[in-house]
Structure 1
Amino acid sequence: MSTPMGRNVIALEWLQFGLGRLVAAAAEEGLTIHLLTGERSEYAHELAELDSPHLVVHDVNTHDVAKVITTIRAIGDVAGLLNTTDTWSLVSLEVRAQLGLAGPDPACIRLVRNKALLRRRLYEHGLSRADGSPLADTDDAADVAARVGLPLIVKDSAGTGSEHVWLARTPDELTAALDEARRVALRGHLIAEPYFLGPLYSVETLTWEGRTRVLGVSSRILSAPPVFREEALAFPVALPPAVAADAEQWIEQVLKCVEYTEGFAHTEFILTDDGFEVVEINPRLGGGLVGEEISQTLDINLYATFLDLVLRRRPALMDAPLTPSRGAAHARLYAPRTGIFVGCQGQELLSGHPGGPVLRPALPAGTAVRTIAHQDGCVAVLFATGATSELALQNVLSAAGEIHVRMEGDDRG
């Protein structure tokens, strides 16, 4: 396959972290990253540390396909477009189509971004023991419970970041969940699916020309139901050899079932007594500091793989050794309540703490925090390492206890 000749790479928004590693990889290739963003402050923490001719930031409404295309055409000499977010995955498909840029299979991306269609596909291929159900405006709790069974989850078919997810164990809880769900603005439409009991993990994979390589499995700590807020994550989980082999075979079947042909995938799953159950397939690298965790544990710059993908060459990571030298973990720090975020105290206490914890801001001081029910309420992310992922997780949770999130009004009597 020939390599594109353009020296400019478009990043249509980005994950909250990892931009610095991407720019470092681009500098080695003689490429320039052009970050198109509608909210520059999302990257303030990384942009403050980046001073490179290999990064240009363009302020543009990234939800407006026409404006994105106009911006890209003005840049010119483009090798391709990268997208690492759920929110802009469908926008990126339209932009690539209009500009004739290569990328993942559009049909696959649309399938995995529609949780109702995904659940149906997995069920039909024997990869889930239960189907889901789209919800009509006329459906009441009795209708939904009869189709899906209790307990169940009501959620946005195109949701992301644990937003708009409701657990219902009883008919009354289901009635309340439906009432609340129908009052919020959704990215997609409402669906209901079974509530699978068990711990949540995610398998991080890279696929090229239909061949998938498992990079490792991440553990997950969530807040207590009914709120599914991500609290912490560690990589790589040391699964028993037989379970690890089963997981690798299973994820290959899952990704083939949805005709996943290229790119990173972050597949969340429940490890139940009856086997693996997909929660969702995200056609991207995992969020938070997953990319940093993989980079540090495998002693690589994972973000160089994005350039292999955009330049249409076999990623080096498909053949590189995958022997972890350590474990890594991150913990999300949330505002204790809604209001104006002032800052974090206690960073001086991290010096000398096991695991070398590092605090990374997620929101600039002065930001109004409007929810603490999901990841939008995260104000900072704490990263730490350890000899194993379990030790890394203990290190980061211990260090998180030293940090105090301050809100406007905290000093008032």
Structure 2
Amino acid sequence: METIVFIGCNISGSSREALITSTQMGYCTILLTNRIGFITQKEDFPEVHQMIYEEDLGNEEKILLIIAALQKDKKQISTILSFIDPFVSLAARIASKVGLVTLTAPALAIMEDKTRIREQLKLLPITPRYLILTHDQPISSFVALYQDELPLVIKSPASNGSKDVILASTISELKESLHFIRRKFPKTPILVEEYLEGTQYLIEVMVYNGELTMVAVIEQEIQQGDRFIITGYLYPVELSKLDYDELEAAVTSVVQQLGLINGTCHLEMRHVNGEWKLIEINPRMSGGAMNRIIQEGTGINLVKEVIKLSLGEEPSLEKTRARHVYAKFVTINFSGKLIKVSGQNIASGYEGVVEVFVKPRKGAILTKPYSLGDRYAYVIASSITPEQAKQIATAAAMEIKFYLEPL
């Protein structure tokens, strides 16, 4: 039986949908994971035919040995891929080494390192002003030099899902955030960027044989605070033809500079004083509810098309529907142990709601949001106008209540 091997997976989101979709496509689905909880609860993954635990999931030699063992066991491996940072380029390299159709691994690897991507794109006008604090450079001297540049955005080079991305608006916040990142990642540089005001957009991109398609452009709503937590997504956005054409030109310049010939990525960009600026780029489609948002708005199952791309097949990106979609994510403002959740059925009953999802189980420890992983539920609504879609999703999301036992 033809087999697809996935490296890494989350409990929900695009990576989980990829497992389900590959099984629906008729493939034997094998998951390599470093999460022991997945192994002990295999029954929660009925779409996975075989699950293999590997603690050091980023070790290329170990993964190659696992692939060799699967092939010896008569598994007909069709592709190896990942929807999870930092295993996207790893999967592409391994696929190439075992003679499979491969995505452009070097370009994907650059996107996995935020300092490397800034250096690669530094001559493009879409790149904001940035600085790199090396691991041995004193924080005190750095702060003294650049305190007049505030506000600044502090990032770990390996950040994903807004994890370890902090807005520093004061000198004390700048010191605290730099010390926080250095304690967590003592041997790596720290990326420091100018803070840009402007509406932020997510652009889902697929490149097939060098031909770029902007599959969807989605407006993001960011929660106020020192962390960049996205709590709302609106599709489609209303851009003038000039702004859209300039956005497409900017995205094309990034893809060409990286040398991406086959692969997917998503960019987050802001429109600042009439110019497009790159906030970040990741070498995979966005996680969370993104596949459902795009499917409701366009009819495209992007997860399925990513799998087809990795198999060497031409993706089908023709839009078959046109609906306004809004996804509202739910966060909490305090920490505690989850006792129960209420309101899901009421939220599902709202006219226009197409999906209600609650992530944590009873007994889970919940916190205020420090990354996108700390969003605990979402509601997706679809309507004929953007205003209606947003109103429905927002009202339905307010029905969801988390009951916590204080820690």
- Please classify the TM superposition score into its range, dividing by the shorter chain length: 0.7 to 0.9
| 1:35 match: secondary structure | strand
Per-residue CA shift, 1:212-242, capped at 9, x if unaligned? Answer: 0111211111121312112121222122222
Distance 1:206 1:154, change over 3 A: same
Once the two structures are TM-superposed, the CA of residue 95 in structure 1 deviates from its matched residue by 3.5
| Structure 1 counterpart of 2:103, one-letter code | P
CA 72–155 in structure 1, closer or farther in 2 if over 3 Å, else same: same
Deviation at 1:328, TM superposition (A): 2.0
Q: Deviations over 1:296-324 (max 9, x none)?
A: 2112332221232122122122xx2x354
Supply the distance in 2 between the matched residues of 1:90 and 1:263 (Cα, whole angstroms): 10
Per-residue deviation, 1:134: 3.5
Which whole-Å CA distance do the structure 2 matches of 1:216 and 1:331 have between them? 18
Give the counterpart letter for 2:119 in structure 1: R
Tell me, in whole angstroms, the C-alpha distance in 2 between the residues paired with 1:367 and 1:389: 34
Q: Aligned residue for 1:255?
A: 255
Residues 39 and 51 in structure 2, CA contact (< 8 A), matched pair in contact too: no
Instruction: Give deviations 1:334-367, integer Å, cap 9, x for gaps.
Output: 2442232233211232243132253223233222
Distance change (3 Å), C-alpha of 1:156 and 1:370: same
Aligned to 1:270: 270
1:33 maps onto 2:32 in alignment? no
Classify 1:361/1:352 alpha carbon distance in 2 versus 1 (closer, same or farther; 3 Å).
Answer: closer
**Matched residue type, 1:406:** Y
What is the distance in 1 between the residues matched to 2:130 and 2:16? 41
Aligned pairs for 1:313-328 within 5 A = 313-317=313-317, 320=318, 322=319, 324-328=321-325
- Aligned equivalents of 2:329 and 2:43: distance in 1? 20
Separation of aligned partners in 2, 1:156 and 1:375? 15
Corresponding letter in the other structure for 1:392: A
- 1:9·1:34 contact (CA, 8 Å) conserved in 2? yes
Which of 327, 331, 354 is matched with 2:328 structurally?
331
Q: Deviations over 1:364-391 (max 9, x none)?
A: 3222336632223222232222224443
Pair 243,274 (structure 1): closer, same or farther in 2 beyond 3 Å: closer
User: Quick one: percent identity of the two aligned structures?
Assistant: 21
- Taking a change above 3 Å as real, the CA distance of residues 375 and 223 of structure 1, as seen in their structure-2 partners, is same
List gaps (5 residues or longer) in structure 1: 1-5
Between the aligned partners of 1:391 and 1:258, the Cα distance in structure 2 is 39
Q: Is the 8 A contact 1:135 1:192 kept in 2?
A: no
- For the 8 Å contact 2:135–2:188, the answer to whether it is kept is no
Distance in 1 (alpha carbons) for counterparts of 2:405 and 2:354? 26
Counterpart Cα distance in 2 of 1:116 and 1:23: 31
Structure 1 residue 363 and structure 2 residue 360: aligned?
A: yes
The answer to whether the 8 Å contact 1:335/1:341 transfers is no
1:75 pairs with one of 65, 70, 95? 70
Q: Distance in 2 between matches of 1:316 and 1:187?
A: 43
**171 and 408 in structure 1: CA distance in 2 versus 1, 3 angstrom threshold:** closer
Q: Deviations over 1:242-288 (max 9, x none)?
A: 21222112211121112122222110111111411101111111111
* Separation in structure 1 between the aligned mates of residue 41 and residue 332 of structure 2, nearest angstrom: 18
Structure 1: distance between partners of 2:43 and 2:241: 41
Matches within 5 A, 1:179-194: 179-185=179-185, 188-194=188-194
The equivalences for 1:5-404 within 5 A come to 7-14=2-9, 16-18=12-14, 22=18, 25-27=21-23, 29-39=25-35, 48=44, 51=46, 55-61=49-55, 62-76=57-71, 77-93=76-92, 95-96=94-95, 98-143=97-142, 146=145, 149-185=149-185, 188-317=188-317, 320=318, 322=319, 324-369=321-366, 372-404=369-401
In 2 relative to 1, CA 381–67 (structure 1 residues): closer, same or farther, beyond 3 Å?
A: farther
Deviation at 1:19, TM superposition (A): 5.9
Pairwise CA RMSD of aligned residues? 3.0
Change (3 A) 1:90 1:209: closer
Question: Where does structure 2 lack aligned partners over 5 or more consecutive residues?
Answer: none
In structure 2, what residue type is equivalent to 1:255? V
Decide which moves more: 103-112 or 249-258.
103-112
Moved more, 78-87 or 130-139: 130-139
TM-score, L = length of structure 2? 0.87
* TM-score, structure 1 as length reference: 0.86
How far apart are residue 29 of structure 1 and its match?
4.3
CA displacement 1:65-88 (0-9 Å, x = unmatched)? 444333333333111111112232
Q: Whole-Å Cα distance in 2 between the matches of residues 354 and 92 of structure 1? A: 41
Contact 1:144 1:192 (C-alpha < 8 Å) held by counterparts? no
Letter of the 1:260 counterpart: L
Q: In 2 relative to 1, CA 222–128 (structure 1 residues): closer, same or farther, beyond 3 Å?
A: same
Whether the 8 Å contact between 1:332 and 1:380 is mirrored in structure 2 is yes
